[in-house]
Amino acid sequence: MDDYIIENVKSLNKTAIFEILQYKDEKQQNLFQLARNIRNNSKFKNNVELRSVIELSNICSQKCNYCYIAKDKKSLYRLDKDVILNRLINLINIGRRTFLLQSGEYHNQEFIEDIAYCCKKSMEYCPEIRLILCLGNLSYDQYKLLYDSGASRYILKFETSNYNHHKFCRPSDTIENRLNHIKTLIDIGYKVGTGNIVGLPKQTFDNLYEDLELINSLDLAMVSSTRFVSNPLSVFGKYKNGDINLSLNFLSILRILKPDSLIPSTTSLAMNNDNGQLNGLMAGCNTITIHDGTPKEFQKNYAIYSQDRFSPGELYCRNIIEQCGMNAVKYLI
Ligand code: SF4
């Protein structure tokens, strides 16, 4: 059974992958166990990277149909550079070493320079930290400025790789453009992360297979797959949430395909599913994000998926890591 799965995932056998994606019950538990074994024998072993996220701004020039960020003009915010640096220093002082600086796609040069300033100052304060950016498509010069300021990783998800499906979900961008940005980031020297959303409206098994082919073709340090969560206020608000089992099976396939990658267990798994993130770790993931960096008053304004978003704290994250028999570590790469 294990050999069958490994062989067919590694060779991207389409028929077998369709079958594995639909595993349930005992077969699904075997798949998760296999993914866990592969993760625990990879170079990162059974360690989980703990990150803190700071959501810098919800201003965004894209118009993704699954997202409600920046649609309500009254709720727009942008953190001041002193606030960002202060949050970083405070988190460093309580022991955190990996930071995800996330924002809507906001090309404003002053904003990017503020982020570069905070990267530089926080690196000077604690050279051991790891800075991960997730800021959307920027210009080459902006990517380079941020890289030279100390950010070493960048997450730019392609979300869905099929040309028409991408247009349907992200009408303000194209998959070619997104891919060009991903390749630029790799060329600059960033450790890059990308991935998809599973369960998007009108997504087919063929689309998911194309996503795996694309992930397999890129030189990535981090891969991710989030679950579609229907935000009632978004254009896709009438569609139902993505199937949790399909998401978990996709994550296990990713682990088998990319044993030495960082794969996050995201809060999208936890929507209407209390054990969602724990199950993500059980399916082969190895990073968890603590939502303790964004000032409380702005957290509700960063609702990509839902206004009732789940914001896990440190205790919750450490608890599920322990329940999975894993170790929380400050960083993995
Ligand atoms: S998903 Fe991200 S890029 Fe798309 S509209 Fe929302 S914040 Fe912007």
**pLDDT tens digits, 38-75:** 999 999 999 999 999 999 999 999 999 999 887 777 88
Q: Which of 53, 63, 69 to mutate to test the pocket of ligand 1 (most atoms within 8 A of CB)?
A: 69
| Domain 2-329 CATH class label | alpha beta
Residue with tokens 């450790």: 191
Q: Is 69 in the pocket of ligand 1 (CB under 6 A)?
A: yes
pLDDT in tens, 143-187: 999 999 999 999 999 999 999 999 999 999 999 999 999 999 999
Q: Which atom of ligand 1 is nearest to the CA of 68?
A: 6
d(CA 136, ligand 1 centre) in Å: 8
What pTM was computed for the model?
Answer: 0.97
Say how far apart CA 29 and CA 76 lie, in whole Å.
43
pLDDT at 299 over 70: yes
d(CA 103, ligand 1 centre) in Å: 9
CB-side neighbour CA atoms (13 Å) of 290: 26
Mean pLDDT of the chain: 96
Q: Is 301 in the pocket of ligand 1 (CB under 6 A)?
A: no
Q: Is 135 in the pocket of ligand 1 (CB under 6 A)?
A: no
Q: Is 64 in the pocket of ligand 1 (CB under 6 A)?
A: yes
pLDDT in tens, 301-319: 887 666 667 789 999 999 9
The DSSP bridge partners found for residue 222 are 193, 262
Say which range, 6-10, 235-239, 310-314, 325-329, has the weakest mean pLDDT: 310-314
Mean pLDDT, rounded, for 22-36: 98
Domain ranges of the chain: 2-329
